[in-house]
A and B are shown apart, each in its own frame.
Chain A
Amino acid sequence: MAATMSERRVVITGCGMITPLGRNTDETFEKASHGLSGIDYIKGFDTRGLPCQVGGEINNQWIEELQPPGAKRLQAYSARGLRLMMAATHEAAGLARLHEVTDRSRIGVALGSHGDNPAVDDINLLHRFYDGKGNWDLQGLMDAGGYSALNFFRRKPDAATSLLSMLFNCKGTNLSFVSACSAGAQAIGEAYRLVKEGTSDVMVAGGCEATLNFTGFIGFVLIKALVEKYASPQKASRPFDRKRNGFVMSEGAGSVILEDLEHALARGVPILGEILGYGDSADAYRITDTHPKGEGAILAIQGALDDAGLGVGDIDYINAHGTSTIQNDLTETRAITAVFGDRAKKVPVSSNKSMLGHTIAAAGAIECILTLTGMHRSIILPTINHEFPDPKCDLDYVPNEARMQSYRRALSNSFGFGGQNACLCIAKYEG
């Protein structure tokens, strides 16, 4: 076992996404660059009586249309989140011409995913076999045969990773991440390391989430993390704005193909960008709160810079976690200020969640790709709904309108419930 990592460079040769704003990367970016919101009233389940009734849902027809060949046979096993991921990966794999890679054992998959939530119908079924006094009629449940094994299967986080591997014939390293909102970024970060050290030549990496159902949604209602006051759905997500009061839950998937530079050059595949560094950390503070000074976030951001061998002067843009919660946006601002010092107010910082909502495990991957796409088009996506400046959030948040500005290197932040933090350093590929 080599004691030191090889110095392989890790490039991005494919990317894809499906979001409330669009069927793919181009459509999502195009709408986001015009400051459009993908948030609306939830139609997928009944929200009467709930304090939050908005979310970023994905058009079911899109999901059907975008499934790759072979996905149909896996549909019964596939959670909605996985189906989103299949669509996103189909786009990414096409760009990277993944099918041309001959040694499939050198292609791995790293996926942030949490599987399906138990449905209200599940609870309805299960309660019939429970007397409320601790006694279960397990045999009755089994005999009823009503609780399908497929329900269990779709809840398993590794099922998505495994099925994605089968669909795209990836026989290498296979990792399933369940680190909440940082899962997508952690999946890309760990995949980057696997390619960098030579364990894999190619990695399919990213995250997916589809928690816009009653059981998934109600959890966040109960912990009062969701927005409850909004003039309209499109105005609900307002990161860094003084009137922000919670995040908007959305669904989506983002997929990138990471590849060893030499491997990509030998294949002659277009190179879209490069991952320069990755940092991750834990808050070790409280389960329900982020560290007030953003100490965990600082470690992750600094870790990514150190890993990339860069200083704060080398960073042109920060894609914020920016959830639109009072706490996150404040501590993230403090963390950026702590790391960037005097330069903090000079670096554009924006939150894609202002338009997309929070796609949980998919967020890190989607935001990584939007950052990369912005580099190619010299467009920094805006933070929309930034109408009432918060004096405690005093950075340049690219308010309301996209900015035409070229940039070469960026950071993308992802911070998870419980205190897991990740930061990716992304760059334009310049040979």
Chain B
Amino acid sequence: MTRNNDEGKPHVTDPVVITGAGIITALGDTVSDIWSALHRGISGINSFEHAGQPPCTAAVVQDFDPAGLGIHPRDARIMGKHTHMLIKASRDAHHFARMQNASLSPEDIGFYAGMGMVDYEIEDLLPAVLKSIGEDGSIDYDRFYASAYQEIHPLWPLFMLNNISFCQAAIGLEIRGENTVFSPHADSGALAVVEGMRTLLDHKARIVIAGGVSETVSPLSLARGTFFDILAPETDSIALCSPFGNNRQGTVLGEGCGMISMELRSHADERGAAYSTMISGYGISCSKDAEVNCPSIYGIKTAMQQALEAAEVRPRDIDVIIAHGDGTQQGDRNEAEAINEVFLESPVQPVVYASKAALGHLLAGAAPVDIILGSRMIEQKSIPPVAGSYFPDSTLRVNLIKDLPLFAKTRRVMINAFSYEGQCSSLIIEAVRV
């Protein structure tokens, strides 16, 4: 199954290629719109107000009307914004891969996704709470248990299940093949792609749609980030997400979704599907930093080295790293240290890009969106600058691309994605040789 490539390494002859993509972020809902905005250094991070809250900073998806998705009102009751984003991106990945022309049975298509946390809306529970308030202002449990709970909508529990949005997207696309759902951080979206890739290599599906979707930014998601001490502080101006910057103070939440369609190259050739990039390797590890909510250097390094070994390439063969780079103090330091250790012997240091400066932290959606951007880098032979006006932290010694796009031939891109609990994943995508 292998032949030698131009670097003397064995080369897989039937790799997993990317034949379609769907994306939505604060910067737009097409790859070209987002790509264009990133090249112009535009950030989707902004101040927003939500239902009377104090202004918060996040990269939220705005001006997206789910009415265009044609969702039945019966189903809409148990859908949130995350569901709409997932359905939209999955449909686009399906559409651009031209699957409708592929003579596929529903069970031939696999489906994998990383899903963020699903937070309940206070409005869903408030009527039951208000109906059971006692004289002292607290819940009277007798009232609550006896009857007030019936104020909760019968379908509310389904909304709360992480897998329900996923199943709704599968129903819409009539997908019945291999599937699963991971949750909730950046590694989960990467793992969904990895599982999809393995499913294809194991011939369990002919095509796989895989990716991940962020949480809906809400008071609870912001509170969760704040309590975990990962968010950049709100200031008089908009909080910045400054990956590897000397003024980095934390991350900024974002909304978005990235889904890709993948298949074996032979299958894509057989049906005449277009592709230009493939996923050539991945690594997964778990090791938490002893002090802070982020992976350890060892964990990150292990995932990156595994990915290199799986792709059968050397560190010098990597042109760009799309770093996890979430703008947290220790998280970025550990990732930078791991990059420096892995690429220590490499004669040329890879360029480092971090999308979170412009898109915010999409959590489960982060890695799939970065895969789509990495594919674009390979196709367009250019790398956008990391958004924002700040100075790189020179002590981290990463080759961060700043201020202007870099136009350069890009053969391979490494993508890192981590959780705050120590889970690490690293993927390599590369140009498909003809």
Contact = CB atoms under 8 A, between A and B. Distances in A.
Interface of A: 1-5, 46-50, 105, 108-109, 114, 118, 120, 123-124, 126-128, 130-136, 138-139, 141-142, 147-149, 152-153, 155-159, 161-163, 165-166, 170-180, 186, 190, 193, 197, 199, 214, 218-224, 279-288, 295-296, 299, 303, 307, 416-420
Contacts of A157: 162, 183-184
Contacts of A118: 120
B27 to A, nearest CB: 26
A132 B127 CA distance: 9
A152 B107 contact: no
A173 B310 contact: no
B144 interface: yes
A219 B174 CA distance: 27
A199 B284 CA distance: 9
Nearest to A419: B167
B3 to A, nearest CB: 11
Contacts of A174: 187, 284-286, 422-423
Contacts of A152: 223-224, 227-228
Nearest to B302: A105
Contact of B201 (A5, A128, A416): A5
Nearest to B296: A171
Contacts of B238: none
A133 B183 CA distance: 31
Given A219-B156, A288-B158, A1 B182 contact: no
A105, A173, A193, A224 — which one has the most chain B CB atoms within 10 A of its CB?
Answer: A173
User: How extensive is the interface on chain B, given as a class?
Assistant: 35 or more
Given A136-B51, A152-B227, A299-B176, A171 B287 contact: yes
Contact of A281 (B14, B138, B176, B222): B176
A3 B13 contact: yes
A284 B158 CA distance: 16
Interface string B329-361: 000000000000000000000000000000000
B182 A222 contact: no
Given A3-B2, A162-B423, A49 B146 contact: yes
B15 to A, nearest CB: 7
B138 A124 contact: yes
B202 A193 contact: yes
Contact of B285 (A135, A172, A180, A416): A172
B145 A46 contact: yes
B117 interface: yes
Contacts of B284: 108, 172-174, 199
Contacts of B410: none
B126 interface: yes
B37 interface: no
A124 B126 CA distance: 9
B54, B154, B155, B157 — which one has the most chain A CB atoms within 10 A of its CB?
Answer: B157
A337 B222 CA distance: 50
B405 interface: no
Contacts of A218: 149, 152, 157
Interface in B163-193: 163-164, 166-168, 170-171, 173-185, 187-188, 191
